[in-house]
Amino acid sequence: MKIFLCPNLEKKACMEYLHEACEILISKGCGLYADKALSGYIDDKSVVFGTPSELVPTCDCILVVGGDGTILKHAKKFALYKKAVLGLNSGRLGFMATLEHNEINLLERFCDGDYTVSNRMMLKAVAHLKSGEIKEFDALNDIVFAKGDGCKIADFEVSKNGNVVTSIRADGLIFSTPTGATAYSLSAGGPIIEPELDSIEFTQICPHSLFARSMLFTPDSELTVKYSANNNPAVRLEVDGVAKLLISPDDRVSIMRSEKVVSLIDISGSSFYDSVNRKLARPLKG
């Protein structure tokens, strides 16, 4: 088995965990590969270095060592190659990781083919700008419309197939995948969704209404968002927590299912509900 390594060097325990993982994988006869930019950090002669575009297509999977942000980043990046991702948590929450450090010996089970793969849908945002330009973005967690500088509150209109779903005044809107349902959307009061239940979740951020509630749409829905605000200040379009674009009242953005899919490897066999109870039901330490 060929494995491409993606460590987050900013995490304190990352290199320690990576070294332990490499020892197990090498002992099981796996071939290890990594970006040549990491050659000065990974001191292991068994690792082959090169460019991701050259190496990833030849590998069987990706091993990411880091937290949720690291796993999210690499899972999206390599979805193009249709490679499954195994996350080893060296962060705090690590909800997307399927292995904790105290479970690292389960890598032997992985090498023996004893694991399952969960396929996660992604979302696409297509921004039709007043200038005529069209920009597209893919999200594994969520697509967010957040009020920008100088915008106290905005009036949003969400429609599906030309029919208005809701017109609401709020600080912003969240469109999330089932994977993202346990992220920002959960903090804004949205429901938890089983990861394999393909759907588009819509949650308002601080809505100025007594009756605003989250909504679920079928995965093949195409939703269109417009907004208006006093003095026409811009609204930020954020994709997986990263600001991508400033949207004006003359622009419109369509939200739909992406053609890309992220595959996450599970070795431990813990259910989704075990993760919810272990990682979300109890306060984080440190």
pLDDT tens string 206-234: 898 888 899 999 999 999 999 987 766 77
Mapped onto helix, strand or coil, the DSSP state of residue 100 is: coil
Name which of 160, 162, 197 is nearest 181 in CA terms.
Answer: 197
Strands 84-89 and 31-35: unpaired
C-beta separation of 267 from 99 below 8 A: yes
Q: Calculate the CA dihedral of residues 168, 198, 274, 277 and round it to 10 degrees.
A: 0
- The pLDDT-based confidence of 11 (bands split at 50, 70, 90) is confident
As assigned by CATH, the class of the 122-259 domain is: mainly beta
d(CA 112, CA 109): 5
Phi, psi angle pair for 262, to nearest 5°? -105, 130
d(CA 184, CA 203): 10
pLDDT at 226: 93
d(CA 83, CA 75): 9
Burial of 51 (0-12, 13-18, 19+ CB in 10 A): exposed
Strand ranges, E, within the chain? 2-7, 31-35, 47-50, 61-66, 84-89, 116-128, 134-139, 142-147, 154-160, 163-170, 172-176, 200-205, 215-217, 223-228, 235-239, 242-247, 252-266
Instruction: Find the catalytic residue in 35, 43, 44, 68.
Output: 68
Tell me the pLDDT tens digit for each residue of 137-159. 999 999 999 987 766 778 999 99
pLDDT at 8: 92
The kind and range of the H/E element at 166 are strand 163-170
Quick check: is 68 catalytic?
Answer: yes
pLDDT at 273: 66
For the segment 86-107, the average pLDDT, to the nearest whole number, is: 86
Mapped onto helix, strand or coil, the DSSP state of residue 5 is: strand
Count CB neighbours of 189 within 10 A.
Answer: 15
d(CA 184, CA 239): 11
What are the residues whose beta carbons fall under 8 Å from the beta carbon of 114, sequence distance 6 or more?
267
* Residue ranges covered by each domain of the chain: 2-115+267-279, 122-259
- The pLDDT-based confidence of 94 (bands split at 50, 70, 90) is low
For the segment 72-91, the average pLDDT, to the nearest whole number, is: 91
d(CA 192, CA 92): 20
pLDDT at 20: 94
What are the residues whose beta carbons fall under 8 Å from the beta carbon of 189, sequence distance 6 or more?
203, 214
Of the candidate CATH numbers 2.30.30.140, 3.20.20.70, 3.40.50.10330, 1.20.1250.20, the domain formed by 2-115+267-279 belongs to 3.40.50.10330
Choice among 55-64, 85-94, 185-194, 258-267 with the minimum mean pLDDT: 85-94
Q: Quick check: pTM over 0.75?
A: yes
Q: Which residue has the higher pLDDT, 238 or 98?
A: 238
The kind and range of the H/E element at 111 are helix 107-111
C-beta separation of 160 from 219 below 8 A: no
pLDDT at 286 over 60: no
d(CA 260, CA 56): 17
Count CB neighbours of 199 within 10 A.
Answer: 19
